[in-house]
Amino acid sequence: MRTPLIAGNWKMYKKTAEAERLIEELAGQVREVKDVEIVVCPPFTALATVADFINRNGGTIQTGAQNVYWEDEGAYTGEISAQMLVDIGVTYVIIGHSERRKHFHETDEMVNRKVKAALAAGLNPIVCVGEVLEEREAGKTDQVVAGQIFKGLEGLKAEQVAGLVVAYEPVWAIGTGRTAEPRVASETIHNIRTIVGSSFSPQASDVVRILYGGSVTPDNIASFMAEPDIDGALVGGASLKAETFTKIAMYQKDGIVYQTR
Ligand code: PGA
């Protein structure tokens, strides 16, 4: 049984005071959410504030970073290590988001080093994969995503892969309001699960959690969660408001789209 996970990626939004307001509101609103893990990923400047708030209030939300560097410490101006994240109470880290691949030229090899460093420090990586529109239109989605999985997870043990979170985010669906059809997203996610099974172990394939990401909203979350292979969502835009993120976290598999408060 895989525990559903709803993660909010705040990207480069929310100054400290705004982040504090959002986490306060969220913590109040998601109190009734049961059996769903909730993670918020603020920008680095607000991470400690949010992690502190969560630790002081003993809530159910966990904190994630949006990036990490693979070295433990050293002369790497501007970088943050996995141990530094653990030090402030962070438990998750997004690795290889398509915006980092696109704007900061992150490669699968870099993703691989980051995943290993995160695991060594005891962080839970959320490894992002996904194809761009031209790749989808050329029928290369499975091939592209398989390559990202092979290279990004290369050298990991099956037990490590079992504990991972993978986020399948078609790049053309991120921030565009255009989602993949749940059925289509689910097929790609099923394919990722099959690759994990053949490259690592059948057990890892059963246990690894795979999220969908790309224009998830309160109105479409239930249709994604109704797919048995989809274990949750990585949410960008709709995670910036407590109300919409709470509605997403309160999706119900039994057909209730969300509970209104
Ligand atoms: P979006 O972003 O929900 O705004 O499309 C998703 C993501 O980038 O993880």
- Binding site membership of 213 for ligand 1 (Cβ less than 6 Å): yes
Confidence at residue 57, expressed as pLDDT on a 0 to 100 scale? 87
Given the CA of residue 94, which atom of ligand 1 is nearest to it?
A: 9
Pairwise CA distance, residues 58 & 78, whole Å: 31
Torsion sign, CA atoms 212, 216, 221, 224:
negative
| Nearest protein Cα to ligand 1, atom 7 | 236
Q: CA 210 to CA 4: how far, in whole Å?
A: 9
Residues carrying an active site annotation = 97, 169
Nearest C-alpha to atom 1 of ligand 1 is from which residue?
A: 236
Q: From first to last of the 261 residues of the chain, give the pLDDT tens digit.
A: 899 999 999 999 999 999 999 999 999 999 888 899 999 999 999 999 999 999 998 778 999 999 999 999 999 999 999 999 999 999 999 999 999 999 999 999 999 999 999 999 999 999 999 999 999 999 999 999 999 999 999 999 999 999 999 999 999 999 999 989 999 999 999 999 999 999 999 999 999 999 999 999 999 999 999 999 999 999 999 999 999 999 999 997 444 444 332
Under 8 Å between Cβ of 68 and 35: no
Give, for ligand 1, the residue of 94, 98, 168, 234 to mutate: max count of ligand atoms closer than 8 Å to Cβ. Answer: 234
Collapsed DSSP state (helix, strand, coil) of residue 221: helix
> What is the model's pLDDT at position 143?
97
Give pLDDT tens digits for 84-129. Answer: 999 999 999 999 999 999 999 999 999 999 999 999 999 999 999 9
Q: Which residue's structure tokens are 């246990």?
A: 207
Please give the backbone phi and psi of residue 234, each rounded to the nearest 5 degrees, phi first: -105, 115
79, 71 contact by CB (below 8 A): yes
What does the alpha-carbon distance between residue 216 and residue 203 come to, in Å, rounded to a whole number?
Answer: 29
Name the pTM for this structure: 0.95
Between CA 246 and CA 236 the distance in angstroms is 13
Cα of 73 to ligand 1 centre, how many Å? Answer: 30
Mutate to test the pocket of ligand 1, among 5, 103, 178, 215 (most ligand atoms within 8 A of CB): 215
pLDDT of residue 31: 87
Nearest atom in ligand 1 to 128's CA: 9
